[in-house]
Structure 1
Amino acid sequence: MTITGAMTGTTSGATREPFTLGLTGGIGSGKSTVADLFAARGVPLVDTDVIAHRITAPGGLAMAPIAAQFGPEFVAADGSMDRARMRALVFSDETARKRLEAITHPLIRAETERETREANGPYVIVVVPLLVESGAWKSRVARVLVVDCSVETQIGRVMRRNGFSREQVQAIIARQATREARLAAADDVIVNDGAKLEALAQDVEILHQRYLALAGAQNAAR
Structure 2
Amino acid sequence: MSNSARRIGLTGGIGSGKSTVARLLTQLGALLIDTDAIARSLTQAGGAAIAPLREQLGERFIAPDGALDRAAVRERVFQDPQAKRQLEAVLHPLILAECDARAAAAPAHQRLVFDVPLLAESVQRWRARVDRIVVVDCSEATQVQRVMARSGWTQDAVQAVIAQQASRAQRLAIADDVIANDGLSLDALQAHVLALWQRWNLNN
TM bin (shorter chain): over 0.9
Q: Which amino acid aligns with 2:185?
A: K
Q: Which amino acid aligns with 1:128?
A: V
Q: Which amino acid aligns with 1:113?
A: D
Alignment of structure 1 residues 1-222 onto 2, 5 Å: 10=2, 19-120=6-107, 122-136=110-124, 137-214=126-203, 217=204
The answer on whether the counterparts of 1:122 and 1:212 sit within 8 Å (CA) in structure 2 is: no
Which runs of no fewer than 5 residues in structure 2 stay unpaired? none
Q: Which amino acid aligns with 2:113?
A: I
Normalised TM-score (structure 2): 0.94
Q: Which amino acid aligns with 2:64?
A: A
Provide runs of 4+ in structure 1 moved above 6 Å. none
Distance in 2, Cα, partners of 1:68 & 1:131: 26
Normalised TM-score (structure 1): 0.86
SS in 2 for 1:140: coil
The answer on whether the counterparts of 2:78 and 2:164 sit within 8 Å (CA) in structure 1 is: no
The answer on whether the counterparts of 1:130 and 1:176 sit within 8 Å (CA) in structure 2 is: yes
The answer on whether the counterparts of 1:56 and 1:81 sit within 8 Å (CA) in structure 2 is: yes
Which runs of no fewer than 5 residues in structure 1 stay unpaired? 1-8, 218-222
Q: Which moved more, 1:133-142 or 1:156-165?
A: 133-142
Q: Which amino acid aligns with 2:158?
A: V
The answer on whether the counterparts of 1:38 and 1:204 sit within 8 Å (CA) in structure 2 is: yes
Distance in 1, Cα, partners of 2:59 & 2:163: 30
How far has the Cα of 1:109 moved from its partner? 0.6
Q: CA RMSD in A?
A: 1.6
Sequence identity, in percent?
Answer: 50
Write the deviation string for residues 86-118 of structure 1: whole angstroms up to 9, x where unpaired: 111111011111111111110011011111112
Distance in 1, Cα, partners of 2:169 & 2:82: 27
How far has the Cα of 1:51 moved from its partner? 0.6
Distance in 1, Cα, partners of 2:162 & 2:174: 17
Q: Which amino acid aligns with 2:2?
A: T
Distance in 2, Cα, partners of 1:58 & 1:29: 30
Distance in 1, Cα, partners of 2:182 & 2:121: 22
How far has the Cα of 1:135 moved from its partner? 3.0
Distance in 2, Cα, partners of 1:212 & 1:117: 21
Equivalent residue pairs, number? 202
The answer on whether the counterparts of 1:123 and 1:212 sit within 8 Å (CA) in structure 2 is: no
Distance in 2, Cα, partners of 1:131 & 1:76: 28
